[in-house]
Structure 1
Amino acid sequence: MSKGIKIAGMTEIMGRRMKESWQTSPRVTYSMSVEISAAEAFIRTFNGAHEQENLKINYNHLLMKACALASKKYELFNSSVEGDEIILHHEINIGLAVATEKGLMVPNVKSVDQLTFKELCQETRRIIQGAREMKLNYDDICGGTFTITNLGMYGIEGFTPIINQPEVAILGVNQICTRLMMEGETILTKRFMPLNLVADHRIIDGAMAAEYLNQVKGSLEAPEMMEA
């Protein structure tokens, strides 16, 4: 026998926002892969140095910082549309999609471009824990200017996330993959993280999206340059 489940609470709110986004933003998806050997080494070094403090960074922290720095350079990625105006935000607040028992939540870390990785690690841990325990405050949920959603740990090889209104772009992160590469006459095995940037084409064109992704790629492939 069929069973009906009433759409309510967070599911209702998320559904309404996703419908609004789908009807509002003309979306284009741009894909690029990042070679992660330097990122892996940076994570190992950082976590080893902060083991006594129980601080561990992961790819999400590097992605958040890389996107924040790219948004600082390409300010339209840190904007929203209100009526016939583009609002450029002075803070770069990166939202991170978090799966909870009651549905998806997107808390955000404020002024990510100004944080050290230690500070970013501490604040990200706080908002993720708060989301899962339903203990976030209003400020944790509101004010985001760019969102990252990472499905790589679920084995997802490619997806097109829906923009989190009123933002104008979102980054989807896919499963890390291994590829054989030729360098001269030598065959090497390298690991790559595929990224999908979805952008509102009213505001962001293809050339700008490509420049933004290349900036993110450059930061992830030289993560030591991102430390504030």
Structure 2
Amino acid sequence: MKKALVIGASGGVGQAVVAELRGRGVEVTTLSRSEDGLDVTDERSVTSALDGVDDDMDLVFVATGALTCTRDTPEKQLGDLGADELLAQVSLNALGPALVLKHWKSRIPRKKRFVFAALSARVGSIGDNGLGGWYSYRTSKAALNSLLHGAAVELGRTHKHAIVTCLHPGTVATSFTEDYPDHDKVTPEQAAKNLVDVIDGLDPAQTGQFFDYAAKPIQW
């Protein structure tokens, strides 16, 4: 891997992924809301931001997202569910990365390996959900998984060396997770190393799949 674009590069995981890639000698271009005004939920903002980026990328990594958008904590029960939070979560966590892929599709090489990876979460797995709650966040990540799986199927017909993947980084010690002391957490730096290792090890035959930080498949 020689060149990468990291979107959401100002966040905890995004910053660490940028540092990890650069430490491996990768030339990294970054985009973020705080530094570049990129709003992944606004298609015009996405196209404008991508227009300024070189085409020749081996990796596009999307690290944008939020645990909540309109409330302080995820929903604990069905009575907490509301349209504003659900729609905001889907817009940011699912539509955002999909719009990036939509507008990068024409730049994806046909004759060499290329990876499009986005941060998902194990709680987005419907099959692995034994606890309930967190309705909007779970739904947004499940929607992301579905969008990227569908895109992988489409791209697989024409781009035989392309890999589209959803990645679960584990519970990372960032501002998102500081209120969850009972979870085992990894540092952003360790999470970034794990994620880049997974990306480096992926084969085009694995496109459209959902993996954790140890490269183990997660059920949909």
Larger RCO, structures 1/2 (Cα 8 Å, 6+ apart):
1
Is the strand fraction higher in 1 or 2?
Answer: 1
TM-score over 0.5 (shorter chain): no
Q: What TM-score does the superposition give when structure 1 sets the normalisation length?
A: 0.28
Q: What TM-score does the superposition give when structure 2 sets the normalisation length?
A: 0.28
Larger Rg: 1
